[in-house]
Amino acid sequence: MAQVGFIGLGNMGGPMAINLLKAGHQVCVFDLNPEAVATLEASGATKATVVSDVCREADYVISMLPAGKHVRAVYTGDDGLINYLGKNTQVIDCSTIDAESAQFVGNKLAESGIAFVDAPVSGGVAGAAAGTLTFIVGGNKADFERAHVVLTNMGKNIFHAGDIGAGQVAKICNNMLLSILMAGTSEALQMGVDHGLDPKVLSEIMLNSSGRNWTLELYNPCPDVLENVPSSNGYKPGFMVDLMAKDLGLAMQSAQQTNSATPMGALAKNLYNLMQNQGKGSEDFSAIFKLYSEK
């Protein structure tokens, strides 16, 4: 078993760290929220008084942070972890950030002889708790294989997307498509409801027709069609609107860099920004259904 430092114990990071403990790893945790740290301590983790403490004798340091600026600051900022990490420690950043930040941090760490992979996740809070996340990894093959050892304790599907930063690009491509599917599924379901159709029946028809997709089958945005999904629980997240809007911002930034055509992605971003403007940023992203149903 490995010695793991874990930074960032939010809705995703906390359950991920708990699964590492369940797998038998020694885990040292750091977060600015003392309640989150206390929860992990109760599960068997040790507490890092300062963030650099997670580096002590660590085989792996894993981070789950809000944005690229935080990842840069933690690893390469003033008194960053680059000054404390051992040469045999591998850094695994699971944050969803811009590819440029991942590449910047990875290159800086490489200059100091420290291995790094970016490994953003898909699967939401439920997947984090169940240990069924999908990890999308960017880095060289040897570093990917080494990271695979601990990623399998937190996830079910682990993909090697390419070099450092590739994990981030693949993740935002996936989430851009997800947002488009959720908006389109919501639109189609509501049109059927407007014509008097039962949304359960319409969902079943589309699931057995060419409109079948993940959001319709496993995350249906119409209340009471499926059990145990956010739409049937007052749109409690799940994956918040604010996070989807953030990922769509990263997607649009990435599209500009390569002059990629993303008209559907841009429209989806506008819709999720509208939800934020309506004060729905903390609701699950499937609450976009309400843009069509609340007329």
Hey, which residues are catalytic here?
A: 171
HSE, side-chain direction, 13 A CA sphere, residue 220: 22
- Nearest Cα to 239, choosing from 272, 267, 197? 272
The strand pairing partners of 100, in sequence order, are: none
Rounded to 10°, the helix 68-76/99-111 angle is: 10
Q: Are 189 and 221 in contact (CB under 8 A)?
A: yes
Paired tokens of 3 = 């010695």
How many Å separate Cα 223 from the centre of its chain?
Answer: 24
Torsion of CA 175, 247, 227, 152, to 10 degrees: 70
Q: Are 214 and 270 in contact (CB under 8 A)?
A: no
DSSP 68-118: HHHHHHHHHSTT-GGGT--TTPEEEE-----HHHHHHHHHHHHHTT-EEEE
Q: Are 156 and 130 in contact (CB under 8 A)?
A: no
Task: Name the region of 57 (left: φ>0; alpha: ψ -120 to 50; beta: rest).
Answer: left
Dist. CA 224–CA 235, nearest whole Å? 11
In residues, how long is the chain?
295
